[in-house]
Amino acid sequence: MTFAIHGLPVARGVAIGRAVLVASSRLDVAHTFIRPDQVDSEIARLSAAREAVTEELQRLMATLPKDAPGELAGVLEVHLLLLQDPTIRADVRRWVTERLYNAEWALTSQLEVLGRQFDQMEDDYLRERKADVEQVVERVLRHLKGAALPVVAAAAAPRVPRQHDLALEDTLDVPLVLVAHDLSPADMLQFKQSVYAGFVTDVGGKTSHTAIVARSMDIPAVVGARSASQLVRQDDWVIIDGDAGVMIVDPSPIILAEYGFKQRQGELERGRLARLKNTPAVTLDGVKIELLANIEEPADTVAALAAGAVGVGLFRSEFLFMGRHGKLPDEEEQYAAYRAAVEGMHGLPVTIRTVDVGADKPLDDSRHDAAHLNPALGRRAIRWCLAEPAMFLTQLRAILRAAAHGKVMILIPMLAHVSEIRQTLELVDKAREQLDQRGAVHGPVQLGAMIEVPAAALSVRLFLRYFDYLSIGTNDLIQYTLAIDRADESVADLYDQLHPAVLHLVADTIAEGARQAKPVAVCGEMAGDPGMTRLLLGLGLRSFSMHPSQILQVKQEVLRADVGKLTEWAQAVLASDEPGALLEV
Protein backbone atom coordinates (compact mmCIF):
# COMPACT_ATOMS: atom_id res chain seq x y z
CA MET A 1 0.00 0.00 0.00
CA THR A 2 1.34 3.40 -0.99
CA PHE A 3 1.70 6.02 1.76
CA ALA A 4 3.69 9.21 2.33
CA ILE A 5 5.81 10.34 5.28
CA HIS A 6 6.42 14.06 5.69
CA GLY A 7 9.53 15.72 7.12
CA LEU A 8 11.81 18.69 6.48
CA PRO A 9 13.40 19.18 3.05
CA VAL A 10 17.14 19.78 3.50
CA ALA A 11 18.72 18.79 0.17
CA ARG A 12 17.00 19.16 -3.19
CA GLY A 13 16.29 16.54 -5.79
CA VAL A 14 14.57 13.18 -6.15
CA ALA A 15 15.98 9.78 -5.20
CA ILE A 16 14.34 6.46 -6.06
CA GLY A 17 15.57 3.16 -4.67
CA ARG A 18 15.32 0.34 -2.16
CA ALA A 19 15.10 1.12 1.53
CA VAL A 20 17.98 0.04 3.74
CA LEU A 21 17.05 0.32 7.41
CA VAL A 22 19.61 1.35 10.00
CA ALA A 23 18.52 0.71 13.57
CA SER A 24 19.64 3.00 16.39
CA SER A 25 22.03 1.41 18.87
CA ARG A 26 20.13 3.08 21.69
CA LEU A 27 17.01 1.09 20.87
CA ASP A 28 18.49 -2.09 22.30
CA VAL A 29 20.59 -1.32 25.39
CA ALA A 30 20.92 -3.65 28.38
CA HIS A 31 20.04 -2.03 31.72
CA THR A 32 21.59 -4.07 34.50
CA PHE A 33 23.14 -3.38 37.89
CA ILE A 34 26.69 -4.59 38.43
CA ARG A 35 28.45 -5.76 41.57
CA PRO A 36 30.94 -3.42 43.28
CA ASP A 37 33.80 -5.72 42.30
CA GLN A 38 32.82 -5.29 38.61
CA VAL A 39 33.22 -1.48 38.58
CA ASP A 40 36.82 -1.51 37.37
CA SER A 41 36.16 -3.98 34.58
CA GLU A 42 33.08 -2.02 33.44
CA ILE A 43 35.05 1.24 33.33
CA ALA A 44 37.75 -0.61 31.40
CA ARG A 45 35.09 -1.66 28.85
CA LEU A 46 34.07 1.97 28.45
CA SER A 47 37.68 3.07 28.00
CA ALA A 48 38.39 0.37 25.43
CA ALA A 49 35.27 1.25 23.42
CA ARG A 50 36.10 4.95 23.56
CA GLU A 51 39.65 4.32 22.36
CA ALA A 52 38.36 2.12 19.54
CA VAL A 53 36.00 4.86 18.38
CA THR A 54 38.80 7.43 18.62
CA GLU A 55 41.00 5.29 16.37
CA GLU A 56 38.07 4.74 14.02
CA LEU A 57 37.43 8.49 13.63
CA GLN A 58 41.14 9.23 13.24
CA ARG A 59 41.34 6.66 10.44
CA LEU A 60 38.36 8.27 8.74
CA MET A 61 40.02 11.70 8.95
CA ALA A 62 43.30 10.34 7.59
CA THR A 63 41.57 8.70 4.63
CA LEU A 64 39.16 11.49 3.68
CA PRO A 65 39.03 11.73 -0.11
CA LYS A 66 40.23 15.01 -1.61
CA ASP A 67 36.75 15.76 -2.93
CA ALA A 68 35.06 15.17 0.44
CA PRO A 69 33.05 18.17 1.67
CA GLY A 70 34.98 20.37 4.09
CA GLU A 71 32.22 20.01 6.67
CA LEU A 72 33.07 16.33 7.20
CA ALA A 73 36.52 16.98 8.64
CA GLY A 74 35.04 19.57 11.00
CA VAL A 75 32.35 17.17 12.18
CA LEU A 76 34.88 14.40 12.81
CA GLU A 77 36.96 16.82 14.88
CA VAL A 78 33.88 17.74 16.94
CA HIS A 79 33.17 14.04 17.57
CA LEU A 80 36.77 13.47 18.66
CA LEU A 81 36.53 16.40 21.08
CA LEU A 82 33.34 14.97 22.56
CA LEU A 83 35.04 11.60 23.06
CA GLN A 84 37.88 13.30 24.91
CA ASP A 85 35.73 15.65 26.99
CA PRO A 86 36.85 15.09 30.62
CA THR A 87 33.53 16.24 32.08
CA ILE A 88 31.48 13.77 30.04
CA ARG A 89 33.92 10.96 30.84
CA ALA A 90 33.81 11.73 34.56
CA ASP A 91 30.00 11.85 34.60
CA VAL A 92 29.71 8.49 32.84
CA ARG A 93 32.18 6.96 35.32
CA ARG A 94 30.06 8.33 38.16
CA TRP A 95 27.00 6.44 36.90
CA VAL A 96 29.06 3.26 37.07
CA THR A 97 30.81 3.82 40.40
CA GLU A 98 27.95 5.42 42.37
CA ARG A 99 24.83 3.88 40.79
CA LEU A 100 26.46 0.59 39.76
CA TYR A 101 25.03 0.87 36.24
CA ASN A 102 26.50 -1.29 33.52
CA ALA A 103 28.53 0.56 30.86
CA GLU A 104 25.72 0.80 28.30
CA TRP A 105 23.22 2.08 30.86
CA ALA A 106 25.70 4.65 32.21
CA LEU A 107 26.37 5.94 28.72
CA THR A 108 22.72 6.33 27.74
CA SER A 109 21.87 7.88 31.13
CA GLN A 110 24.45 10.60 30.58
CA LEU A 111 23.15 11.06 27.03
CA GLU A 112 19.69 11.83 28.44
CA VAL A 113 21.16 14.45 30.79
CA LEU A 114 23.11 16.12 27.98
CA GLY A 115 20.10 15.88 25.68
CA ARG A 116 17.97 17.91 28.09
CA GLN A 117 20.69 20.58 28.28
CA PHE A 118 20.83 20.87 24.49
CA ASP A 119 17.01 21.00 24.24
CA GLN A 120 17.00 24.08 26.49
CA MET A 121 19.44 26.04 24.32
CA GLU A 122 17.96 29.03 22.52
CA ASP A 123 20.15 28.92 19.43
CA ASP A 124 18.87 26.62 16.64
CA TYR A 125 22.33 25.58 15.49
CA LEU A 126 23.61 24.71 18.98
CA ARG A 127 20.41 22.92 19.96
CA GLU A 128 20.85 20.64 16.97
CA ARG A 129 24.39 19.79 18.09
CA LYS A 130 22.62 17.32 20.36
CA ALA A 131 22.74 15.03 17.33
CA ASP A 132 26.55 15.02 17.44
CA VAL A 133 26.52 13.75 21.04
CA GLU A 134 23.96 11.08 20.12
CA GLN A 135 26.04 9.91 17.17
CA VAL A 136 29.20 9.63 19.27
CA VAL A 137 27.32 7.66 21.94
CA GLU A 138 25.94 5.31 19.28
CA ARG A 139 29.45 4.60 17.99
CA VAL A 140 30.65 3.75 21.50
CA LEU A 141 27.58 1.57 22.11
CA ARG A 142 28.26 -0.33 18.88
CA HIS A 143 31.76 -1.13 20.05
CA LEU A 144 30.49 -2.19 23.47
CA LYS A 145 28.13 -4.58 21.68
CA GLY A 146 30.70 -5.65 19.06
CA ALA A 147 28.46 -4.43 16.24
CA ALA A 148 29.53 -3.13 12.83
CA LEU A 149 29.14 0.45 11.71
CA PRO A 150 25.51 1.03 10.62
CA VAL A 151 26.12 2.15 7.06
CA VAL A 152 28.58 -0.68 6.42
CA ALA A 153 26.25 -3.22 7.99
CA ALA A 154 23.29 -1.91 6.03
CA ALA A 155 25.18 -2.05 2.77
CA ALA A 156 26.17 -5.63 3.46
CA ALA A 157 22.63 -6.73 4.25
CA PRO A 158 21.17 -9.13 1.66
CA ARG A 159 18.49 -7.72 -0.59
CA VAL A 160 15.76 -10.16 -1.46
CA PRO A 161 13.19 -8.63 -3.84
CA ARG A 162 9.61 -9.43 -2.98
CA GLN A 163 7.65 -11.06 -5.80
CA HIS A 164 5.23 -8.15 -6.32
CA ASP A 165 8.20 -5.77 -6.75
CA LEU A 166 9.88 -7.63 -9.57
CA ALA A 167 7.95 -5.72 -12.19
CA LEU A 168 9.32 -2.44 -10.87
CA GLU A 169 12.99 -3.20 -11.50
CA ASP A 170 14.81 -4.24 -14.61
CA THR A 171 18.01 -5.06 -12.77
CA LEU A 172 19.19 -5.97 -9.29
CA ASP A 173 21.69 -3.09 -9.48
CA VAL A 174 19.27 -0.43 -8.20
CA PRO A 175 20.12 2.51 -5.92
CA LEU A 176 19.74 2.14 -2.17
CA VAL A 177 18.08 4.72 0.06
CA LEU A 178 19.13 4.85 3.70
CA VAL A 179 16.39 5.14 6.34
CA ALA A 180 17.58 5.73 9.90
CA HIS A 181 16.62 7.21 13.22
CA ASP A 182 19.68 9.43 12.79
CA LEU A 183 22.73 9.34 10.55
CA SER A 184 26.20 10.52 11.50
CA PRO A 185 27.89 12.74 8.91
CA ALA A 186 30.96 10.54 9.36
CA ASP A 187 28.90 7.56 8.24
CA MET A 188 27.86 9.55 5.19
CA LEU A 189 31.37 9.08 3.79
CA GLN A 190 30.03 5.74 2.60
CA PHE A 191 27.91 7.57 0.05
CA LYS A 192 31.05 8.31 -1.97
CA GLN A 193 31.75 4.63 -2.55
CA SER A 194 28.24 3.18 -2.59
CA VAL A 195 24.97 3.15 -4.50
CA TYR A 196 23.15 5.16 -1.83
CA ALA A 197 21.03 7.71 -3.63
CA GLY A 198 19.70 9.62 -0.62
CA PHE A 199 18.56 9.30 2.95
CA VAL A 200 15.74 9.92 5.40
CA THR A 201 16.06 10.31 9.17
CA ASP A 202 13.50 10.40 11.95
CA VAL A 203 15.18 13.34 13.66
CA GLY A 204 17.20 16.40 12.68
CA GLY A 205 16.71 19.94 11.51
CA LYS A 206 17.61 22.15 8.58
CA THR A 207 20.81 23.35 10.28
CA SER A 208 22.02 19.97 11.57
CA HIS A 209 25.45 18.75 10.45
CA THR A 210 23.83 15.90 8.54
CA ALA A 211 21.66 18.35 6.61
CA ILE A 212 24.62 20.63 5.88
CA VAL A 213 26.71 17.75 4.56
CA ALA A 214 23.77 16.47 2.49
CA ARG A 215 23.42 19.85 0.80
CA SER A 216 27.13 20.11 0.12
CA MET A 217 27.17 16.61 -1.42
CA ASP A 218 23.96 17.36 -3.34
CA ILE A 219 22.21 14.25 -2.00
CA PRO A 220 18.38 14.31 -1.83
CA ALA A 221 17.49 14.17 1.85
CA VAL A 222 14.59 14.53 4.27
CA VAL A 223 15.07 14.85 8.03
CA GLY A 224 12.64 15.07 10.94
CA ALA A 225 10.41 12.39 9.41
CA ARG A 226 9.38 11.20 12.89
CA SER A 227 8.73 7.45 12.74
CA ALA A 228 10.00 6.74 9.23
CA SER A 229 12.44 4.07 10.43
CA GLN A 230 9.56 2.21 12.10
CA LEU A 231 7.07 2.47 9.25
CA VAL A 232 9.37 1.50 6.39
CA ARG A 233 10.27 -2.15 5.85
CA GLN A 234 13.64 -3.42 4.75
CA ASP A 235 13.89 -3.38 0.93
CA ASP A 236 10.71 -1.33 0.37
CA TRP A 237 10.68 0.74 -2.79
CA VAL A 238 10.81 4.39 -1.68
CA ILE A 239 10.94 7.80 -3.29
CA ILE A 240 12.63 10.76 -1.60
CA ASP A 241 11.36 14.16 -2.71
CA GLY A 242 14.03 16.46 -1.29
CA ASP A 243 12.24 19.54 -2.62
CA ALA A 244 8.94 18.88 -0.84
CA GLY A 245 10.30 17.04 2.20
CA VAL A 246 8.31 13.87 1.50
CA MET A 247 9.13 10.16 1.34
CA ILE A 248 6.71 7.96 -0.59
CA VAL A 249 6.74 4.31 0.41
CA ASP A 250 5.77 1.42 -1.90
CA PRO A 251 4.81 3.73 -4.79
CA SER A 252 2.43 2.54 -7.48
CA PRO A 253 3.79 2.24 -11.02
CA ILE A 254 2.04 5.50 -11.96
CA ILE A 255 3.64 7.43 -9.07
CA LEU A 256 6.99 5.81 -9.80
CA ALA A 257 6.80 6.89 -13.43
CA GLU A 258 5.78 10.41 -12.42
CA TYR A 259 8.74 10.80 -10.06
CA GLY A 260 11.07 9.17 -12.57
CA PHE A 261 10.14 11.96 -14.97
CA LYS A 262 10.61 14.55 -12.20
CA GLN A 263 14.01 13.08 -11.41
CA ARG A 264 15.12 13.37 -15.03
CA GLN A 265 13.79 16.93 -15.20
CA GLY A 266 15.73 17.78 -12.05
CA GLU A 267 18.94 16.43 -13.55
CA LEU A 268 18.39 18.49 -16.67
CA GLU A 269 17.69 21.59 -14.57
CA ARG A 270 20.89 21.11 -12.58
CA GLY A 271 22.80 20.81 -15.81
CA ARG A 272 21.28 24.06 -17.06
CA LEU A 273 22.08 25.82 -13.77
CA ALA A 274 25.66 24.53 -13.83
CA ARG A 275 26.16 26.27 -17.16
CA LEU A 276 25.41 29.58 -15.44
CA LYS A 277 28.48 29.33 -13.21
CA ASN A 278 30.64 31.63 -15.34
CA THR A 279 27.77 33.83 -16.53
CA PRO A 280 27.95 37.32 -14.99
CA ALA A 281 25.02 38.04 -12.67
CA VAL A 282 23.48 40.89 -14.66
CA THR A 283 19.76 41.64 -14.98
CA LEU A 284 17.95 42.04 -18.29
CA ASP A 285 18.30 45.82 -18.05
CA GLY A 286 22.03 45.67 -17.37
CA VAL A 287 22.21 45.96 -13.57
CA LYS A 288 25.18 44.07 -12.13
CA ILE A 289 24.41 41.98 -9.04
CA GLU A 290 26.96 40.60 -6.56
CA LEU A 291 26.39 36.99 -5.47
CA LEU A 292 28.53 36.00 -2.47
CA ALA A 293 28.90 32.85 -0.36
CA ASN A 294 28.37 32.22 3.35
CA ILE A 295 31.03 29.88 4.76
CA GLU A 296 31.91 28.36 8.13
CA GLU A 297 35.49 27.22 7.58
CA PRO A 298 38.31 27.83 5.09
CA ALA A 299 37.65 24.59 3.18
CA ASP A 300 34.21 25.93 2.20
CA THR A 301 35.88 28.29 -0.27
CA VAL A 302 36.11 25.36 -2.70
CA ALA A 303 32.31 25.09 -2.86
CA ALA A 304 31.99 28.87 -3.07
CA LEU A 305 34.20 29.08 -6.14
CA ALA A 306 32.57 26.02 -7.71
CA ALA A 307 29.20 27.79 -7.49
CA GLY A 308 30.57 30.93 -9.12
CA ALA A 309 30.59 33.15 -6.02
CA VAL A 310 32.40 36.45 -6.53
CA GLY A 311 33.53 36.53 -2.91
CA VAL A 312 32.68 35.51 0.63
CA GLY A 313 29.97 37.68 2.15
CA LEU A 314 30.02 35.98 5.56
CA PHE A 315 32.73 33.87 7.20
CA ARG A 316 31.23 32.74 10.52
CA SER A 317 34.38 32.87 12.62
CA GLU A 318 32.67 31.58 15.78
CA PHE A 319 33.08 28.01 14.56
CA LEU A 320 36.78 28.35 15.37
CA PHE A 321 35.85 29.07 18.99
CA MET A 322 33.18 26.50 19.82
CA GLY A 323 33.54 23.10 21.45
CA ARG A 324 37.05 23.79 22.78
CA HIS A 325 36.24 23.41 26.48
CA GLY A 326 37.39 26.90 27.44
CA LYS A 327 40.63 26.88 25.40
CA LEU A 328 40.18 29.67 22.87
CA PRO A 329 42.10 29.67 19.57
CA ASP A 330 45.22 31.82 19.81
CA GLU A 331 46.26 34.47 17.31
CA GLU A 332 48.38 32.13 15.20
CA GLU A 333 45.63 29.55 14.82
CA GLN A 334 43.10 32.18 13.85
CA TYR A 335 45.53 33.89 11.47
CA ALA A 336 46.20 30.57 9.72
CA ALA A 337 42.44 29.94 9.28
CA TYR A 338 41.66 33.43 8.01
CA ARG A 339 44.66 33.41 5.69
CA ALA A 340 43.60 30.02 4.29
CA ALA A 341 40.14 31.41 3.52
CA VAL A 342 41.57 34.55 1.90
CA GLU A 343 44.05 32.61 -0.23
CA GLY A 344 41.38 30.02 -1.02
CA MET A 345 39.31 32.73 -2.73
CA HIS A 346 42.23 33.66 -5.04
CA GLY A 347 41.97 37.42 -4.75
CA LEU A 348 38.19 37.68 -4.33
CA PRO A 349 36.98 39.58 -1.23
CA VAL A 350 36.39 37.77 2.06
CA THR A 351 34.12 39.21 4.76
CA ILE A 352 34.97 37.87 8.22
CA ARG A 353 32.33 38.31 10.91
CA THR A 354 33.85 38.72 14.35
CA VAL A 355 33.00 35.99 16.83
CA ASP A 356 29.26 35.71 17.47
CA VAL A 357 29.00 33.78 20.73
CA GLY A 358 27.63 34.58 24.15
CA ALA A 359 24.72 33.72 26.36
CA ASP A 360 22.81 31.88 23.62
CA LYS A 361 25.96 30.37 22.07
CA PRO A 362 28.12 29.22 24.99
CA LEU A 363 31.66 28.21 24.16
CA ASP A 364 31.21 25.20 26.44
CA ASP A 365 28.67 23.99 28.98
CA SER A 366 30.72 25.15 31.96
CA ARG A 367 30.42 28.77 30.90
CA HIS A 368 26.69 28.66 30.26
CA ASP A 369 24.93 30.84 32.80
CA ALA A 370 21.48 29.49 33.65
CA ALA A 371 20.62 32.91 35.13
CA HIS A 372 20.00 34.24 31.61
CA LEU A 373 16.23 33.94 31.37
CA ASN A 374 16.29 34.99 27.72
CA PRO A 375 19.77 34.38 26.30
CA ALA A 376 18.87 35.84 22.90
CA LEU A 377 18.62 39.22 24.63
CA GLY A 378 21.72 38.76 26.76
CA ARG A 379 25.49 39.28 26.43
CA ARG A 380 26.23 37.88 23.01
CA ALA A 381 28.14 38.80 19.83
CA ILE A 382 29.74 42.28 20.10
CA ARG A 383 28.50 42.64 23.68
CA TRP A 384 30.51 39.60 24.67
CA CYS A 385 33.52 40.75 22.63
CA LEU A 386 33.59 44.17 24.29
CA ALA A 387 33.37 42.48 27.69
CA GLU A 388 36.38 40.31 26.75
CA PRO A 389 38.71 42.87 25.07
CA ALA A 390 41.81 40.64 25.23
CA MET A 391 40.01 37.91 23.29
CA PHE A 392 38.60 40.46 20.83
CA LEU A 393 41.98 42.10 20.22
CA THR A 394 43.49 38.68 19.52
CA GLN A 395 40.90 38.06 16.82
CA LEU A 396 41.24 41.53 15.33
CA ARG A 397 45.03 41.19 15.09
CA ALA A 398 44.65 37.81 13.35
CA ILE A 399 42.17 39.25 10.82
CA LEU A 400 44.33 42.32 10.14
CA ARG A 401 47.35 40.08 9.50
CA ALA A 402 45.31 37.91 7.11
CA ALA A 403 44.36 41.08 5.24
CA ALA A 404 47.95 41.29 4.01
CA HIS A 405 47.16 38.31 1.76
CA GLY A 406 44.05 39.62 0.01
CA LYS A 407 40.97 41.80 0.25
CA VAL A 408 39.42 41.42 3.71
CA MET A 409 36.37 43.05 5.21
CA ILE A 410 35.49 42.91 8.91
CA LEU A 411 31.82 42.58 9.89
CA ILE A 412 30.64 43.39 13.43
CA PRO A 413 27.45 41.59 14.63
CA MET A 414 24.58 42.81 16.82
CA LEU A 415 25.56 46.45 17.27
CA ALA A 416 22.81 48.67 18.65
CA HIS A 417 24.44 51.60 20.53
CA VAL A 418 26.80 54.34 19.42
CA SER A 419 28.92 53.57 22.49
CA GLU A 420 29.42 50.02 21.17
CA ILE A 421 30.40 51.39 17.77
CA ARG A 422 33.00 53.73 19.26
CA GLN A 423 34.46 51.04 21.54
CA THR A 424 34.73 48.67 18.59
CA LEU A 425 36.51 51.19 16.40
CA GLU A 426 38.91 52.04 19.24
CA LEU A 427 39.80 48.36 19.62
CA VAL A 428 40.40 47.99 15.87
CA ASP A 429 42.81 50.94 16.04
CA LYS A 430 44.46 49.44 19.12
CA ALA A 431 44.94 46.10 17.35
CA ARG A 432 46.69 47.91 14.48
CA GLU A 433 48.94 49.74 16.94
CA GLN A 434 49.88 46.47 18.66
CA LEU A 435 50.85 44.93 15.33
CA ASP A 436 52.90 48.00 14.39
CA GLN A 437 54.71 47.93 17.73
CA ARG A 438 55.94 44.40 17.12
CA GLY A 439 56.63 44.97 13.43
CA ALA A 440 53.98 42.53 12.20
CA VAL A 441 52.74 42.86 8.63
CA HIS A 442 49.05 43.63 8.26
CA GLY A 443 46.74 44.92 5.55
CA PRO A 444 43.92 47.43 5.11
CA VAL A 445 40.35 46.37 5.84
CA GLN A 446 36.89 47.76 5.33
CA LEU A 447 34.69 47.82 8.41
CA GLY A 448 31.03 46.92 8.29
CA ALA A 449 28.13 46.48 10.70
CA MET A 450 25.39 43.87 10.74
CA ILE A 451 21.86 45.22 10.83
CA GLU A 452 20.04 42.54 12.82
CA VAL A 453 18.54 44.53 15.70
CA PRO A 454 15.59 46.86 14.98
CA ALA A 455 17.40 49.65 16.85
CA ALA A 456 20.23 49.40 14.33
CA ALA A 457 17.87 49.45 11.35
CA LEU A 458 16.15 52.55 12.74
CA SER A 459 19.56 54.20 13.32
CA VAL A 460 20.99 53.32 9.91
CA ARG A 461 22.10 56.91 9.16
CA LEU A 462 24.16 56.92 12.34
CA PHE A 463 25.72 53.55 11.45
CA LEU A 464 26.69 54.72 7.98
CA ARG A 465 28.65 57.63 9.47
CA TYR A 466 31.00 55.11 11.08
CA PHE A 467 31.07 52.12 8.71
CA ASP A 468 32.10 51.45 5.12
CA TYR A 469 29.24 49.05 4.42
CA LEU A 470 26.28 47.24 6.05
CA SER A 471 25.04 43.64 5.94
CA ILE A 472 21.48 42.80 6.92
CA GLY A 473 21.17 39.62 8.99
CA THR A 474 17.54 38.84 8.25
CA ASN A 475 17.28 35.79 10.52
CA ASP A 476 17.81 37.74 13.75
CA LEU A 477 16.18 40.89 12.41
CA ILE A 478 12.93 38.97 11.89
CA GLN A 479 13.17 37.32 15.30
CA TYR A 480 13.77 40.55 17.18
CA THR A 481 11.30 42.61 15.15
CA LEU A 482 8.42 40.18 15.63
CA ALA A 483 9.40 39.02 19.16
CA ILE A 484 9.32 35.45 17.87
CA ASP A 485 11.54 32.79 19.39
CA ARG A 486 12.39 30.59 16.43
CA ALA A 487 13.11 27.73 18.83
CA ASP A 488 9.55 27.77 20.13
CA GLU A 489 7.41 25.52 17.92
CA SER A 490 4.20 27.01 19.31
CA VAL A 491 4.91 30.34 17.58
CA ALA A 492 7.10 29.17 14.71
CA ASP A 493 4.32 29.83 12.20
CA LEU A 494 4.47 33.53 13.13
CA TYR A 495 8.09 33.82 12.01
CA ASP A 496 7.34 35.74 8.81
CA GLN A 497 9.98 37.22 6.50
CA LEU A 498 7.19 39.02 4.61
CA HIS A 499 5.78 40.85 7.62
CA PRO A 500 5.38 44.54 6.61
CA ALA A 501 7.51 45.72 9.54
CA VAL A 502 10.38 43.45 8.52
CA LEU A 503 10.20 44.51 4.88
CA HIS A 504 10.18 48.21 5.81
CA LEU A 505 13.30 47.82 7.95
CA VAL A 506 15.07 45.97 5.14
CA ALA A 507 13.92 48.45 2.48
CA ASP A 508 14.84 51.53 4.52
CA THR A 509 18.32 50.15 5.21
CA ILE A 510 18.94 49.43 1.52
CA ALA A 511 17.61 52.85 0.49
CA GLU A 512 19.72 54.77 2.99
CA GLY A 513 22.83 52.91 1.88
CA ALA A 514 22.10 53.91 -1.72
CA ARG A 515 21.59 57.55 -0.71
CA GLN A 516 24.98 57.59 0.99
CA ALA A 517 26.65 55.53 -1.78
CA LYS A 518 27.68 52.79 0.63
CA PRO A 519 27.16 49.06 -0.10
CA VAL A 520 24.40 47.12 1.65
CA ALA A 521 24.18 43.32 1.49
CA VAL A 522 21.74 40.74 2.83
CA CYS A 523 23.41 37.66 4.34
CA GLY A 524 20.47 35.93 6.05
CA GLU A 525 18.26 33.13 4.70
CA MET A 526 16.22 35.70 2.79
CA ALA A 527 19.14 36.25 0.41
CA GLY A 528 19.26 32.58 -0.59
CA ASP A 529 15.51 32.24 -1.16
CA PRO A 530 14.85 32.42 -4.94
CA GLY A 531 11.26 33.38 -4.14
CA MET A 532 12.52 36.61 -2.55
CA THR A 533 15.06 37.57 -5.24
CA ARG A 534 12.77 39.73 -7.37
CA LEU A 535 11.45 41.63 -4.36
CA LEU A 536 14.92 42.35 -2.99
CA LEU A 537 16.07 43.49 -6.43
CA GLY A 538 13.07 45.77 -6.68
CA LEU A 539 13.89 47.23 -3.27
CA GLY A 540 17.36 48.10 -4.52
CA LEU A 541 19.50 45.26 -3.17
CA ARG A 542 22.61 44.63 -5.26
CA SER A 543 24.59 42.27 -3.02
CA PHE A 544 23.32 38.84 -1.89
CA SER A 545 25.24 36.40 0.33
CA MET A 546 24.07 32.80 0.80
CA HIS A 547 25.05 29.14 1.09
CA PRO A 548 27.00 28.15 -2.05
CA SER A 549 24.35 25.59 -3.01
CA GLN A 550 21.79 28.40 -3.42
CA ILE A 551 23.85 30.70 -5.65
CA LEU A 552 22.97 29.29 -9.09
CA GLN A 553 19.23 29.27 -8.40
CA VAL A 554 19.35 32.89 -7.27
CA LYS A 555 21.54 33.79 -10.26
CA GLN A 556 18.90 32.35 -12.58
CA GLU A 557 16.31 34.67 -11.03
CA VAL A 558 18.67 37.61 -11.42
CA LEU A 559 19.26 36.90 -15.11
CA ARG A 560 15.50 36.81 -15.72
CA ALA A 561 14.78 40.03 -13.83
CA ASP A 562 14.21 43.55 -15.14
CA VAL A 563 14.96 45.88 -12.23
CA GLY A 564 13.29 48.84 -13.93
CA LYS A 565 9.99 46.97 -14.01
CA LEU A 566 10.40 45.49 -10.52
CA THR A 567 10.90 48.78 -8.67
CA GLU A 568 7.29 50.00 -8.86
CA TRP A 569 5.97 46.52 -8.07
CA ALA A 570 8.27 46.22 -5.04
CA GLN A 571 6.94 49.52 -3.68
CA ALA A 572 3.38 48.17 -4.05
CA VAL A 573 4.40 45.04 -2.09
CA LEU A 574 5.96 47.27 0.56
CA ALA A 575 2.77 49.31 0.89
CA SER A 576 0.51 46.27 1.16
CA ASP A 577 -0.94 44.96 4.42
CA GLU A 578 -0.44 41.44 3.04
CA PRO A 579 2.78 41.46 0.97
CA GLY A 580 2.69 37.70 0.44
CA ALA A 581 -0.43 38.04 -1.68
CA LEU A 582 1.44 40.19 -4.21
CA LEU A 583 4.69 38.26 -4.25
CA GLU A 584 3.54 35.81 -6.92
CA VAL A 585 2.30 38.55 -9.22
The amino acid at residue 189 is L
Question: Could you tell me if 580 and 529 are in contact, meaning their C-beta atoms sit under 8 angstroms apart?
Answer: no
Q: Which of 368, 405, 442, 523 is catalytic?
A: 523
Q: What is the DSSP letter of 354?
A: P
* Nearest-angstrom CA–CA distance, 195 and 202: 21
User: Which helix (H) or strand (E) segment is 436 a member of?
Assistant: helix 418-437
Quick one: 326 exposed, middle or buried, by C-beta within 10 A (0-12, 13-18, 19+)? exposed
Q: Could you confirm whether 523 is annotated as catalytic?
A: yes
* Nearest-angstrom CA–CA distance, 180 and 199: 8
Q: Which of 143, 209, 405, 547 is catalytic?
A: 209
Question: Could you tell me if 45 and 246 are in contact, meaning their C-beta atoms sit under 8 angstroms apart?
Answer: no
* Nearest-angstrom CA–CA distance, 302 and 72: 14
| Bridge-based pairing state of the strands 196-201 and 176-180 | parallel
Task: Report the candidate in 10, 361, 60, 469 with the shortest Cα–Cα distance to residue 198.
Answer: 10
Instruction: Give phi and psi for 351, each to the nearest 5.
Output: -100, 120
Looking at the DSSP assignment, which residues form a beta bridge with residue 290?
543
Longest dimension (CA), the chain: 81
Task: Report the candidate in 274, 408, 419, 302 with the shortest Cα–Cα distance to residue 353.
Answer: 408
| Bridge-based pairing state of the strands 290-295 and 543-546 | parallel
> Can you point out the beta strands (E) in 237-377?
237-241, 246-249, 290-295, 312-316, 350-353
Q: What radius of gyration, in Å, describes the C-alpha atoms of the chain?
A: 25
325: left (phi over 0), alpha (psi -120 to 50) or beta: left
- Positions annotated as catalytic residues are 209, 523
